[in-house]
A and B are shown apart, each in its own frame.
Chain A
Amino acid sequence: MKITQNDVEYVARLARLHISDEQKEKLTRDMAAIIEFADKLSEIDTTGVIPEAHAIPVQNVFREDSVKQSYSRDDILSNAPEKQAGCFCVPKIVE
């Protein structure tokens, strides 16, 4: 599957990545080369093979629904780029 600049723009929108016009050209070439490399996967016969997400089988790990000590609000806000009144500050989302 050949990657076009349109594909790159579409994927960049999905990934919320701003790509400059200069970067777009190189990225399109790089992605085309990488996807061509990955197309090798289509050669191998995987009929009937169950796809696996994990190397070692894992089960869902649950815990009791009980309240435990967590981190303080100050700790969690300590890295905030912008904070106010104990909250993270972001641009207005809802008008």
Chain B
Amino acid sequence: MDLNKLTATEIAAKIKSKEVSAVEVAKDTISRALKVNAKINAYITICEDVAVEQALLIDEKIADGETLSSLAGVPYALKDNICTKDILTTCGSKMLYNFKPPYNAFVSEKLQEAGGVLIGKLNMDEFAMGSSNETSYFGTVKNPHNRKCVPGGSSGGSGAAVAADTAYFTLGSDTGGSVRLPASFCGAVGLKPTYGMVSRFGLVAFASSLDQIGPVTKDAVDCANVMNIISGYDNMDSTSLNVARPDYTKALVADVKGIKIALPKEYFIGADSSVVQKIMDAVRLLESMGAIVEEISIPATDYALAAYYIISSAEASSNLARYDGVKYGYRAKDYSDITDMYFKTRGEGFGDEVKRRIMIGTYALSSGYYDAYYKKAQQVRTLIKQGFNEVFEKYDIIASPVYPTTAFKIGEKADDPVKMYTGDICTVSANIAGIPAISLPCGADGNNMPIGLQLMAKAFGEPTLLQAAYTYQTATDFHKQEASGI
């Protein structure tokens, strides 16, 4: 079997046993990434020299008999809003087209310490705003299952790179579904951890109360191994939770007997029949393995989308105020004075979607509108959290589609912002409430396009999600579906 088709855990074992060297695996991944990137545009930067240097170091340590982490020598890639010291970090934007951070993000540092091999930085919707990876300054990412289709967003590159076997795992960021949606559209596993479990230090901020970094992997086993490395308390992130993290691999047990799964009817409204079919097949399979499944209603769901777009836009307008051409990034060439410099830099440096969101956010926070929009949205946030708390008193897992459809065609929704936003109905609530959520492949539609099953749990419920995902994957092989579009 081709090396690149293996999982991260499998290739790590081969490297550790010296069946193959880390350098060989790195070079194999790099050459595949270079070849495939012309077709899918998943990578913005491929850092060959850094990767080979890191791989050499691992081979030396193995030769010396050092004990290494479970993912030592494994090639991975990072979404381009995660800071990597001295390596271009663009956020998919002209505004940061030349930005090389002087520091590593917490997760970048952790993966480096664990001996991961950084292949490159991944394409994304500009400043993480988007659901289809069509707003990047560096071009649209194509879905490896069908290049006429979007890979999902905003971590489109993260999803596409794993599906195309041009990285063994990637990290994305999820503010309203941006890890889970590409995972769903590309047929990978994507996890959004509990808010505060993975440090945001070095993640370029979009909406600070919603953003979380999460792994995109080929299966649940890899997801657990990556979580063990990236999850941890960080005093540089004041929202980082100072709690013990479990060994997530301990959750990889094939058992769902007695697990109570809730199906909220609001998440299925408007979903394609092919999607609903596969979600129900998956849920019935878990039921046959001992889970208890019941239909419920979560009325606050209807308002989650509106609350999300107000809260995230408001926070984005504040977070993106720092892009003024003064200290880093793009600066306009012609301006009359400092204020004109700000106007022109921001007018020229930001794309349309980013400008839309900054405008919405500024409006929602401005005098006269603050109470009607921002404060109201924060109150709805409380109601959504309460709604989930009530559900999790009786149930262990909430199951739903990740998105009402499979990957849509490039350009199909690009002109209608509201149409693009309404698809996020299934994913935004988990960010609003801060609870963990995972997307796993559960089949494909009539065109062979992958469908993702979303499972949500209460705060710190990652082990519950991983156990259910692992159990499901011992009985199915949808996560092994190859991308036939490249």
Q: Chain A binding site: helix, strand, loop or mixed by DSSP? A: loop
Q: How large is the interface on B (under 10, 10 to 19, 20 to 34, 35 or more residues)?
A: 35 or more
Q: Does B45 contact A (CB under 8 A)?
A: no
Q: Does B288 contact A (CB under 8 A)?
A: no
Q: How far is the CB of B427 from chain A (nearest CB, A)?
A: 14
Instruction: Give bound CA distance, A78 to B88, whole Å.
Output: 12
| Chain A, 36-57, CB within 8 A of any chain B CB | 37-44, 46, 49-56
Q: Is A16's CB under 8 angstroms from B102's CB?
A: no
Instruction: Give bound CA distance, A79 to B328, whole Å.
Output: 5
Total chain A interface residues with beta-carbon distance under 8 A? 54
Instruction: Give bound CA distance, A16 to B318, whole Å.
Output: 12
Q: Is B344's CB under 8 angstroms from A18's CB?
A: yes
Q: Is B381's CB under 8 angstroms from A51's CB?
A: yes
Q: How far is the CB of B437 from chain A (nearest CB, A)?
A: 12
Q: Is B309's CB under 8 angstroms from A55's CB?
A: no
Q: Is A56's CB under 8 angstroms from B359's CB?
A: no
Q: Does B418 contact A (CB under 8 A)?
A: yes
Q: Is A56's CB under 8 angstroms from B366's CB?
A: no
Q: Is B196's CB under 8 angstroms from A37's CB?
A: no
For A52, give its contact among B330, B342, B364, B382 (CB under 8 Å): B382
| Chain A, 20-35, CB within 8 A of any chain B CB | 20, 23, 27, 30-31, 33-35
When distances are taken between beta carbons in the complex, the residues of chain A under 8 Å from B459 are 55-56
Q: Is B434's CB under 8 angstroms from A91's CB?
A: no
Q: Is B195's CB under 8 angstroms from A49's CB?
A: no
When distances are taken between beta carbons in the complex, the residues of chain A under 8 Å from B99 are 79
When distances are taken between beta carbons in the complex, the residues of chain A under 8 Å from B435 are 55
Number of A-B contacts (CB under 8 A): 174
When distances are taken between beta carbons in the complex, the residues of chain B under 8 Å from A71 are 102-103
Q: Does B358 contact A (CB under 8 A)?
A: yes
Instruction: Give bound CA distance, A37 to B417, whole Å.
Output: 11
Q: How far is the CB of B113 from chain A (nearest CB, A)?
A: 19
Q: Does A15 contact B (CB under 8 A)?
A: yes
For B366, give its contact among A11, A40, A79 (CB under 8 Å): A11
Contact of A80 with B328 at beta-carbon distance under 8 Å, contacts A37-B421, A50-B382 already known: yes
Q: Does B476 contact A (CB under 8 A)?
A: no
Instruction: Give bound CA distance, A11 to B362, whole Å.
Output: 7
When distances are taken between beta carbons in the complex, the residues of chain B under 8 Å from A8 are 359
Q: Is A49's CB under 8 angstroms from B239's CB?
A: no
Q: Does B170 contact A (CB under 8 A)?
A: no
Instruction: Give bound CA distance, A16 to B380, whole Å.
Output: 30
Q: Is A51's CB under 8 angstroms from B379's CB?
A: yes
Instruction: Give bound CA distance, A46 to B359, whole Å.
Output: 26
For B363, give its contact among A11, A18, A23, A43 (CB under 8 Å): A11
Q: Does A75 contact B (CB under 8 A)?
A: yes
Q: How far is the CB of A70 from chain B (nearest CB, A)?
A: 10
Q: Is B378's CB under 8 angstroms from A40's CB?
A: no
When distances are taken between beta carbons in the complex, the residues of chain B under 8 Å from A12 are 359
Q: Which residues of B contact A (CB under 8 A)?
A: 98-100, 102-103, 194-196, 209-210, 235, 238-239, 241, 300, 302-303, 305-307, 309-310, 317, 321, 324-331, 335, 337-339, 341-344, 346-348, 350, 352, 355-356, 358-360, 362-364, 366, 369, 372-373, 375-383, 385, 417-418, 421, 431-435, 459
12 A-B contacts, Cβ less than 8 Å apart?
A3-B363, A12-B359, A14-B362, A31-B356, A31-B359, A41-B307, A41-B372, A46-B376, A55-B433, A56-B241, A71-B103, A80-B328
